[in-house]
Amino acid sequence: MRANRMKATWRAGGIAYGAWLCIPSSISAEAVAHQGFDYVCVDMQHGVIGYEAAVSMLQGISTSDATPIVRVPWNEFSIINRMLDAGAMGIIVPMVNSADEARAAVAPCRYFPQGARSYGATRATIWSGADYFGHANDEVACIVMCETQQAVEQIEGIVRVPGVDAVYVGPSDLSITLGLPPAPDNGGAYEDARLRIARACADAGVIAGMHANASLAAKHVAAGYRMVTVTSDIGALTGATGADLRAVRGAAVRPAPGT
């Protein structure tokens, strides 16, 4: 079976850097994947990406060395199982607010008896190799999101659910439920949460992950985060094309949408 570069990086004590995809195109996915990221995530929750586009994007990423992962739209058994069958090597599950919800996220990621994943990994077996079934429970990453006040309060229990490989922080939603404006980073209660999550992960031997950008990466690494998303397709696209136009027109900067 193909190795999971992201998990291998973690096992080697390294930091996995990733890119985030919201544009429903296998071509842009492939273009980003070949830049050298450790993982590339297809966002089916807030990206404009349905099942068929997601599969084509997994194929585009699969021509590179980056590990293809998927943020599913919801903590729902079926879509997690299907995206794994389609070749995702990791799943990010949004809005996991308790240990019970974390257990529900793990179930479709692991075959019996560690979980209840249904057998039939059609594309995963084609791409990863005929020995997929025997290694999938080890190689597939199950990553639960911590993005509400409630989740932070439960984090010490969540990280101890067997099968959880990593916790991934969503700064905007976490900020909102803490009464702060949505932003890539925040102070106050948000900063407390950020550190508490990192600590809980470290204590449990689980990876801490963060939805970030290039300028925030070093700060998160310093806090112990070892899965750091540093860019997104839609942000890069609107940011860079808009900047080119403003440079030519000499206009003032306006914020890039969608991130």
The stretch among 6-14, 130-138, 156-164, 190-198 that binds a second copy (CB under 8 A) is 130-138
Minimum CB separation from a second copy for residue 204, in Å?
25
Residue 124 or 155: the one with the smaller Cβ distance to a second copy is 124
The span from the CA of 49 to the CA of 54, in Å, is 6
The span from the CA of 111 to the CA of 106, in Å, is 10
211 is catalytic: no
- Using CB under 8 A, pick the residue from 6, 32, 70, 143 that binds a second copy: 32
By CB under 8 A, is residue 258 in contact with a second copy? yes
Three-class DSSP category at 43: strand
Residue 126 or 203: the one with the smaller Cβ distance to a second copy is 126
Active-site entry in 46, 135, 211, 220? 46
Residue 203 or 214: the one with the smaller Cβ distance to a second copy is 214
Using CB under 8 A as the binding rule, the residues of this chain from 50 to 89 that contact a second copy are 50-53, 55-56, 59-60, 62-63, 73-74, 76-79, 81-82, 85-86
Residue 232 bridge partners (DSSP): 20
CA 186 vs. chain centroid, Å, equals: 20
Which pair of tokens denotes residue 11? Answer: 């096992």
The stretch among 161-169, 173-181, 192-200, 201-209 that binds a second copy (CB under 8 A) is 173-181
Q: What is the dihedral of CA 179, 183, 189, 190, to 10 degrees?
A: 140
- Count of Cβ atoms closer than 10 Å to residue 5 Cβ: 17
Using CB under 8 A as the binding rule, the residues of this chain from 218 to 237 that contact a second copy are 218, 228, 230-237
SS3 track for 197-226? HHHHHHHHCCEEEEECCCCCHHHHHHCCCC
- Using CB under 8 A, pick the residue from 19, 69, 88, 208 that binds a second copy: 19
Which pair of tokens denotes residue 253? Answer: 């900067």
Q: Site size for a second copy, by CB under 8 A?
A: 94
Using CB under 8 A as the binding rule, the residues of this chain from 178 to 217 that contact a second copy are 182, 213-215, 217
The stretch among 5-13, 113-121, 187-195, 196-204 that binds a second copy (CB under 8 A) is 113-121
Q: At 112, which amino acid appears?
A: F
- Using CB under 8 A, pick the residue from 5, 114, 172, 204 that binds a second copy: 172
Minimum CB separation from a second copy for residue 208, in Å?
16
- Using CB under 8 A, pick the residue from 94, 141, 186, 208 that binds a second copy: 94
The span from the CA of 85 to the CA of 164, in Å, is 19
The span from the CA of 109 to the CA of 161, in Å, is 13
Side-chain-side CA neighbours of 173 within 13 Å: the count stands at: 18
Give the catalytic positions in this structure: 46
